[in-house]
Structure 1
Amino acid sequence: MSWLQLRVDTCRETTEAIEDALLAAGAVSVTMEDSADQPILEPAVGETPLWKQTRVTGLFSADTETTQATVIATASFGQSLPPYRWEILEDKDWEREWMQNFHPMRFGQRLWICPSWKTPPQADAVNLMLDPGLAFGTGTHPTTALCLEWLDSCTLKDKTVIDYGCGSGILGIAALLLGAKEVMAIDNDPQALIATQDNAKRNHIDSSKLNVYLPDDAPTDYQADIMLANILAGPLAELAPLLSQLTVASGQLVLSGIINSQAAKLLTVYKPWFEMEAPALHHQWVRLCGRKKA
Structure 2
Amino acid sequence: MPWLQIKLDVMPDNAEQYEDLLLAAGCAAVTLQDKEDTPIFEPELGTTPLWRNTVLTGLFSADHDLDATQAFLHTSHKQLFPNTPFPPMKTEIVEDKDWEREWMENYHPMKFGQRLWVCPSWKPVPEPDAINLMLDPGLAFGTGTHPTTALCLEFLDSLSLENQQVIDYGCGSGILGIAALLLGADHVTAVDIDPQALDASVDNLQRNHLPKERLQVYFPEKTPQVQADLVVANILAGPLVQLAPTLSSLCKPGGQLILSGLLADQEEELRAAYGQDFALDPAAEQEGWIRMTGLKR
Under TM normalisation by the shorter chain, which class is it?
over 0.9
The equivalent residue for 1:290 is 294
Distance 1:88 1:275 in 2: 56
Secondary structure of the residue aligned to 1:67 is: helix
Aligned-residue offset at 1:264: 1.2
Q: How does 1:270-289 map to 2 (within 5 A)?
A: 270-289=274-293
Letter matched to residue 233 of structure 1: A
Q: How does 1:101-180 map to 2 (within 5 A)?
A: 101-180=106-185
Distance 1:210 1:67 in 2: 56
Distance 2:75 2:16 in 1: 15
Q: How does 1:26-175 map to 2 (within 5 A)?
A: 26-78=26-78, 80-175=85-180
The equivalent residue for 2:19 is 19
Aligned-residue offset at 1:24: 2.8
Q: How does 1:197-208 map to 2 (within 5 A)?
A: 197-208=202-213
Distance 2:77 2:296 in 1: 58
Aligned-residue offset at 1:160: 0.9
User: Over the residues paired in the alignment, what is the CA RMSD in angstroms?
Assistant: 1.0
1:57-114, Cα deviation, whole Å (9 max, x unpaired)? 0011111222221110121222553111101111111111110011000001100000
Which of these residues, 257, 264, 272, is aligned with residue 261 of structure 2?
A: 257
Partners of 1:160 and 1:225 within 8 A in 2: yes
Letter matched to residue 260 of structure 1: A
Task: Answer with 253-262 or 72-81: which moved more.
Answer: 72-81
Secondary structure of the residue aligned to 1:227 is: strand
1:167-220, Cα deviation, whole Å (9 max, x unpaired)? 000000000000011110000001100000000000011112111101111112
Distance 2:2 2:217 in 1: 42
Distance 2:86 2:111 in 1: 48
Distance 1:152 1:68 in 2: 58
Distance 1:56 1:216 in 2: 39
Aligned-residue offset at 1:21: 2.2
Distance 1:192 1:163 in 2: 12
Task: Answer with 10-19 or 108-117: which moved more.
Answer: 10-19
Aligned-residue offset at 1:25: 2.5
Aligned-residue offset at 1:119: 0.5
Number of aligned residues: 292
Letter matched to residue 8 of structure 1: L
Which of these residues, 211, 219, 223, is aligned with residue 214 of structure 1?
A: 219
Distance 1:248 1:256 in 2: 20
Secondary structure of the residue aligned to 2:243 is: helix
The equivalent residue for 1:239 is 243
Secondary structure of the residue aligned to 1:128 is: strand
| Identical positions, percent | 57
Distance 1:162 1:117 in 2: 28
Aligned-residue offset at 1:260: 0.6
Secondary structure of the residue aligned to 1:278 is: coil
Aligned-residue offset at 1:266: 0.6
Aligned-residue offset at 1:2: 1.0
Matched, 1:229 2:233: yes
Distance 1:81 1:140 in 2: 40
Task: Answer with 6-15 or 99-108: which moved more.
Answer: 6-15
Unaligned ranges ≥5, structure 2: none
After TM superposition, the runs of 4+ consecutive aligned structure 1 residues lying more than 3 A away are none
